[in-house]
Amino acid sequence: MTTTSSLPVIPLASGIRSRYVENVNGLRVHVLEAGFELPDRACVLLLHGFPELAFCWRKVMIPLAEAGYHVIAPDQRGYGRTSGWDPDYDGDLASFRLTNLVRDALGVVAAFGYDAVDAVIGHDFGSAVAAWCGLIRPDVFRSVVMMSAPFAGAPRLPFNSVNEVAVSPPEDHVHRELAALPRPRKHYQWYYTTREADSHMRRAPQGVHAFLRAYYHYKSADWKGEAPYPLKSWSAAELANMPTYYIMERDKDMPATVAEHMPSAAAVAANQWLPDTDLSFCSAEFARTGFQGGLQWYRCALSSRFNSELQIWSGRSIDVPSLFIAGKQDWGIYQHPGAYESMLATVCSRMAACHLIDGAGHWVQQEQPAEVGGLLQAFLRDTFGNGRDRR
């Protein structure tokens, strides 16, 4: 078992520190922290996605601290140096359901002595957790920022069904239809629920480091094939227009999928948003922990087992101030047809703005940190004023 003292030092800029928080909903949570030097500051909470870590926020933490905030970014359940979660595919899947991830976030906030935070900011799957934080506990999470992944709202309850014959939930035919295409395909989220996915990535033939380099490159604006647009429907024909990191070749795993888009050595050397020193830290963490912790989130999301709990909030909107930020070259905005439009029309009643940043793909806060940091500072300033002395 790896001990904390034997783990390598995290390559952090001055002003960001690493620490642990004990007894948070059964976890020992590793967090990165900025703006901790002065007391009585308001707080913002940053929630990462897949396959990322708290480290993915390193470039926006200092700007938020300079805006007067105590900035907290945890390795979420299933990731990095946070421990106490079940890594077994056949283990405690329910602990990774969305309501428990919100409970984790509440526990971190409370452990630091806050009754509320000015903002919960989430990226990728962390965007969904941030949205649910704002939906379930608007008294604690005073605003919500979602990045890269729109939130379409809580699943609906069966409505006006008293005279209907009870039936099982309908099968999603899109998976069968994708497999039947002339160029057979499969949805990446379905692939992430399989028992083999963790082993494929953890034991990638090219190594975890090269796998992640290709994965991050393929989903960034550095890959020049990105030209996303709204899809018309949740159908095989429409979904198949997305790149293969979303709609994969049926007979390829994810390492083989992204290997075809491995950047050149010159491109890697020129990369400013994810230099090899930073990627080396991330790849070492995932080589140590594997990917199953993050994959459990996908298994929960695709399982109907947890829908009844989420239906408690059916019809509820996020009524705290909200913001959406994504890369203009990010297919994540459109991967669920209609979700972006629903978020704007009904789900977020106080949406301040939606910013699609040119020159950024999926990893928007890493690819364009200056612009993202400026947008976050402006949103918080316009919503709350100065972050200092507002605890």
Q: What is the CATH number of the domain that holds 45?
A: 3.40.50.1820
Q: Is residue 168 part of a domain?
A: no
Please check whether residues 23 and 149 belong to one and the same domain: yes
- Give the pLDDT of residue 159: 84
- Give the pLDDT of residue 386: 75
Q: Is residue 23 part of a domain?
A: yes
Please check whether residues 206 and 251 belong to one and the same domain: yes
Does the pTM surpass 0.75? The reply is: yes
Q: Is residue 363 part of a domain?
A: yes
C-beta neighbour count of 3 within 10 angstroms: 6
- Give the pLDDT of residue 158: 85
Q: Is residue 204 part of a domain?
A: yes
Exposure string of 14-30, with b = 16+ CB inside 10 Å and e = fewer, is eebebeebeebbebebb
Please check whether residues 136 and 242 belong to one and the same domain: no
Q: Is residue 166 part of a domain?
A: no
Contacts of 230 (CB under 8 A, 6+ apart): 334, 337, 340, 341
Phi, psi (deg, nearest 5) at residue 171: -70, 140
Residue type at position 144: V
Residue 374's domain spans which residues? 14-155+302-384
Choose the final residue of a domain: 256, 271, 294: 294
Choose the final residue of a domain: 241, 273, 294: 294
Please check whether residues 120 and 18 belong to one and the same domain: yes
**Residue 310 DSSP class:** H
Exposure string of 279-290, with b = 16+ CB inside 10 Å and e = fewer, is bebbbebbbebb
How buried is 181 (Cβ within 10 angstroms: 0-12 exposed, 13-18 middle, 19+ buried)?
middle
| Long-range contacts of 136-139, Cβ-Cβ distance < 8 Å, separation of 24 or more | 136/99, 136/102, 136/313, 137/102, 137/106, 138/318, 138/319, 138/320
Please check whether residues 212 and 229 belong to one and the same domain: yes
Closest C-alpha to 16, from 34, 43, 36, 31: 34
Please check whether residues 368 and 282 belong to one and the same domain: no
- Give the pLDDT of residue 226: 85
- Give the pLDDT of residue 300: 96
Q: Is residue 169 part of a domain?
A: no
Q: Is residue 316 part of a domain?
A: yes
Please check whether residues 221 and 247 belong to one and the same domain: yes
Please check whether residues 329 and 290 belong to one and the same domain: no
- Does an H or E element contain 129, and which? helix 125-136
Q: Is residue 161 part of a domain?
A: no
Phi, psi (deg, nearest 5) at residue 351: -70, 115
Residue 339, phi-psi category: left (phi > 0), alpha (psi -120 to 50), beta (remainder): alpha
| Contact between 261 and 214 (Cβ < 8 Å) | yes
Polymer length of the chain: 391
Please check whether residues 287 and 313 belong to one and the same domain: no
Please check whether residues 310 and 290 belong to one and the same domain: no
Residue 54 CA from chain centroid, whole number:
11
Choose the final residue of a domain: 241, 259, 294: 294
Please check whether residues 267 and 308 belong to one and the same domain: no
| Contact between 363 and 216 (Cβ < 8 Å) | yes
Q: Tokens 């402006």 correspond to what residue?
A: 378
Residue 81 CA from chain centroid, whole number:
17
Number of domains forming the structure of the chain = 2
Please check whether residues 148 and 18 belong to one and the same domain: yes
- Give the pLDDT of residue 228: 96
| Contact between 386 and 66 (Cβ < 8 Å) | no
Walk along the chain (391 residues) and give the pLDDT tens digit of each residue: 455 668 999 999 999 999 999 999 999 999 999 999 988 899 999 999 999 999 999 999 999 999 999 999 999 999 999 999 999 999 999 999 999 999 999 999 999 999 999 999 999 999 999 999 999 999 999 999 999 999 999 999 988 888 887 666 667 899 999 999 999 999 999 999 999 999 999 999 999 999 999 999 999 999 999 899 999 999 999 999 999 999 999 999 999 999 999 999 999 999 999 999 999 999 999 999 999 999 999 999 999 899 999 999 999 999 999 999 999 999 999 999 999 999 999 999 999 999 999 999 999 999 999 999 999 999 999 999 876 655 5
| Whole-number Å distance between alpha carbons of 307 and 313 | 11
Closest C-alpha to 130, from 139, 143, 118: 143
